[in-house]
Every structure is written in C-alpha cells, then in structure tokens.
Structure 1
C-alpha cells in the first residue's frame, strides 16, 4: 500500500490556477532552491484517482538539483474543473491536448514531462501528438498497454458503482472494504492518520464522475503504442518500484528495452515510488534530466 501524500505544498511552492489556451488547471508550482541555477522545468501528471499532491514529496529535492517542477490536476481531477456527465470531454486526445496547452503555459521552452500510471499514458499521447514542447518523457509505473486483469476488475467495479451511486456513497463503500490500518502508538500518529483520510476523501469527492468513468475505461482498453512512441526523437525514462500489480515489472523492463530508455527500479517501492521512496525517485529523475541536458 502506497503512503498517502501530504496535501500541504512544500516550502516555497505555490498552489494556483494555471491559465492555458484550453482553460484553467490547478497546479503546485515549485521553483528552484535559492541560489541554485535553473537547469530545467518539469511538468508532472498524476495517475488515476490521484492528484498533483502525489508529487509533493519530490518538489524540494528536485528544487535543490536545479529543477522547477509543476504538478497539475488534469481536467475533472480533484481541483481542476470539468464536465460532470460528459465523458467525451475526457477522451484521451482531449486530455493530451490539455497537456500540450499546460506545457506552453508553464514555460516558453521545452519541458521535461513526467506521467504516473494513467498520467503516463496521457503523457505518451501528448508526445505522439506533438513532441516539440518536451525535452524528455519519464513514464513512472506506467505500462505499454492496458492494465493487468486484476486491476481491470477493480476498475470495472468502480465504474459500475459510479453508475448508480454518488461519489460520497462510493467512498464509504470503498472504506468499508479496505482493511483498517493499525492504531498508531506514537504521539499524534492517530490524528495524522485521520487527517490523511480526510484529505483523501476530499480529493475523491473533487473528481468528476465522468472523468473517472472515461479514464477508467481507457486504462482497460489502451493499445500498445510503444513502437509508435519509440520513433519519436525524445529521450525516454522508465521508472517503477520493485513491485507493481498494475503493470508487472517484467513488462516495464521490456517496454524500456523497446524504447531504448533509461530504466530505473526503485527498491522498496511499489506502484507509487514518488510517495514510497521520494528521495530515491527524485534522485533518479534529476540524474536522468542532467544527462538529457
């Protein structure tokens, strides 16, 4: 189980609405550390049911290496607005065009693009539409095609539930099925756990149901586009944890070979290396970007 992210932006970072040619998107924007030369800018896309806060553990570490990082909520995701019922608004190409607009609004030159899980497949679609706004592409725990059979079953259950239940009702049902975490014995630990749950609930309720249904379907039917991506003249990085039940790690190894990509396996991490092992993950990102430069 991945650790929940902190929902408090790190010191120096700013949360605001980024204005683009395709509307406004909620972002957390972290500048480089004081006295450090700017080496590059990165745009970071979260995964299914995730949000920009998933990258909070990385910002300070990357700022110290000279990278400004901008994490974004996609259309209809947490604090970014979107249609409640119109699934067509969340077609993959629509979301990919949003990413192109975000990149243009964030920086007047090419940016490093990072996509986690679903965000990786949206990032891939954006690069295939137009690679010129991107200096590199990092796919974090994001595979070559559809998600594993077990995860497809979980997504189908969620989509079926959203067809007949409110987001609040679905949240309560999910919590009832989840194993309860052990009580913390250190001072303040239990309160911290309750705060985490409230933040996660607030994020869940911020999602637009049509976005969850449409992107969930995408994850279950995504075709293998690795050969198409490999033809794009952009440096690639495939990063994952040592275990992953969404895309098996050997599948990610093979994808990296097909892309001739840099490959990083973060030991001790699972599907969310950014929260499981943020120090090692940030170091791998910055080392890759340094090489691209």
Structure 2
C-alpha cells in the first residue's frame, strides 16, 4: 500500500540507478539497481507495497549507495512492469514471499542481502523469511502484524474490489482518486507529471494482483510468533519502522509488533505511511547505521 506524497520527494525523484530485469518465477522482475558503489558491503532489496512499485524507493537509492550498499528496488510479480499470473491466489504474502526468497537466494550468491518491505511488502518480506530467505537483516517499514484494521483503507479495499470486478482497473483508479481527495482534502493534488505516472502505474498493475493483495490485506493472520521464532533460530537482526503519523496500521500496533519480535522500533519524524517518499533523509538516518551494525556482526 503506498501513499502519494505532496512534498519535494516523489517516485520521480532523480537517481543514479539503472532499470534492469532480474530472473523471476513468472518472468522478468523489473527493478531499479544502483548506483553501484565500489565493493558494496551488501545488497539492499526493497519490496514495495500495495499499488506501489520500485519507484517508491527512488528518493533512497543514491543515499543507500553512498553508504556503500547496493540498492535493488523491485516491482513484485503483477505490479507495474513485472508480469504475473492471472490467478488471484498467487498474490498472497506466502506465495509472493517464496518468489522474493528465491530472489534473495540468487542475490546472496554475490554478497549479503538486507531485506526491506514497505506496507504490504512488509508482509511479503516476512513471508520470505519464513520461507527460508537467507537474509542478513530484515526491516519492516510501515507494516503490521496481520490484516489491516477497520478504517478508511480497509473500507476502500472492499469498495474497490467490487468496482474492479465489475468495471475494471480504470474505473477503480478513478474511485481511488475521489476517495483520496475526500479523505485528505488538505493535501494538494500531485504535479501533472507525477499524476500521469501514478495513473500509469496503477492501470498497468494486473487486476489479479490488485484483487489478490487486497484480499490478503483484509485477511492476513497474525504471524508475529512465527517470525519471532525464525529470527531467533536463524540469528537474523530485524527492525520495525513506522512514520510517526502512520495511518494504515497504527503506530502503537507496530511498536507492539516490534516488542513481540524482540527487536527495536523506530518512529520517523514528519512521516506518515511512506517515509521513503515523505521523509527519506530522516528514514536513511535511522536505517543506515543499524544496517552497518548488522553487517559488522
């Protein structure tokens, strides 16, 4: 799940990464890779949320590379520029987690892999670890312990599903824009170039992907105990990060999840559900020192 920022940072933020394709079970996985630092200490695999894409991490890419790490941001299968199956059941966290675990395994042949999942991508990253992904560290960004709680986002998923099934992706996006304007009237509309990108990304995402992920967001079970066991058994360091004003999973619920996992919790000042675009410098200030500490273990 992504939110569209109205600040100086966005999915169109300039960066030095290259558009590449990685091998995937359903076809090429579209990715932004780089910039390439000299002798990177690790690869940072960045997994986006519902209706998101690799571009959600554009404001982070150069900063990660400057810290001596190789960033790789992906579109999940079915998202934007990555192909995916027509089967809605293929887009649950467990199924997508297996594909991410395979990608982690391939990338870890060159160097350690730090895995970050944003929002729905956090549920997928969790599933990847439970599937045995050999990660050197896990970061859950604005993600929760289970399904979304009741509220505007949950309701919008139910309304959107009905419209998506009856009228298609274009109509669903139009409704999404109306709901965004109603729920956040204080936020100005995006600049035309960004608005065009956001629309193109949404309508390019497969309907099966949108429907399957939406179903999981309403029904995902609490797997925190399972993840806690996996982190402990495989000695994987982890971190839970939320924007201080997160409006998807509540900040207290994310803090509680961190406590149950036995890991650190961090709130990013000035951010809501997408610190990667709302406060990227503040987010990197929290992430980079911890990631380097994990790699020195």
- Higher mean alpha-carbon deviation, 118-127 vs 157-166, is at 157-166
Output one character per residue of 1:178-222: Cα deviation in whole Å (capped at 9) or x when no partner: 4398999xxxxx9x7011100000000110011111111101111
| Counterpart Cα distance in 1 of 2:49 and 2:92 | 15
Give yes or no for contact 2:27–2:84 (8 Å, CA) kept in 1. Answer: no
Match of 1:6 among 11, 16, 21: 11
Give yes or no for contact 1:9–1:15 (8 Å, CA) kept in 2. Answer: no
Give yes or no for contact 2:49–2:118 (8 Å, CA) kept in 1. Answer: yes
Match of 1:23 among 14, 20, 27: 27
Output one character per residue of 1:125-156: Cα deviation in whole Å (capped at 9) or x when no partner: 1101104x200100000011111201221111
Any unmatched runs of 5+ in structure 2?
A: none
Normalization by structure 1: what TM-score?
Answer: 0.90
Partner of 1:104: helix, strand, or coil? helix
* Offset of residue 22 of structure 1: 5.2
Cross-structure match for 2:276: 274
Give yes or no for contact 2:138–2:236 (8 Å, CA) kept in 1. Answer: yes
Cross-structure match for 1:224: 222
Cross-structure match for 1:130: 132
- Higher mean alpha-carbon deviation, 121-130 vs 278-287, is at 278-287
Match of 1:291 among 286, 290, 293: 293
* Offset of residue 9 of structure 1: 5.7
RMSD: 2.1
* Equivalence map 1:105-184=2 (5 Å): 105-108=106-109, 109-131=111-133, 133-150=134-151, 151-179=153-181
Cross-structure match for 1:257: 259
Any unmatched runs of 5+ in structure 1?
A: 185-189
Normalization by structure 2: what TM-score?
Answer: 0.88
Partner of 1:16: helix, strand, or coil? strand
| Counterpart Cα distance in 1 of 2:112 and 2:27 | 20
* Offset of residue 2 of structure 1: 4.4
Q: Does 1:94 align with 2:99?
A: no
Cross-structure match for 2:70: 68
| Counterpart Cα distance in 1 of 2:275 and 2:78 | 24
Give yes or no for contact 2:31–2:74 (8 Å, CA) kept in 1. Answer: yes
Give yes or no for contact 1:27–1:70 (8 Å, CA) kept in 2. Answer: yes
Give yes or no for contact 1:9–1:53 (8 Å, CA) kept in 2. Answer: no
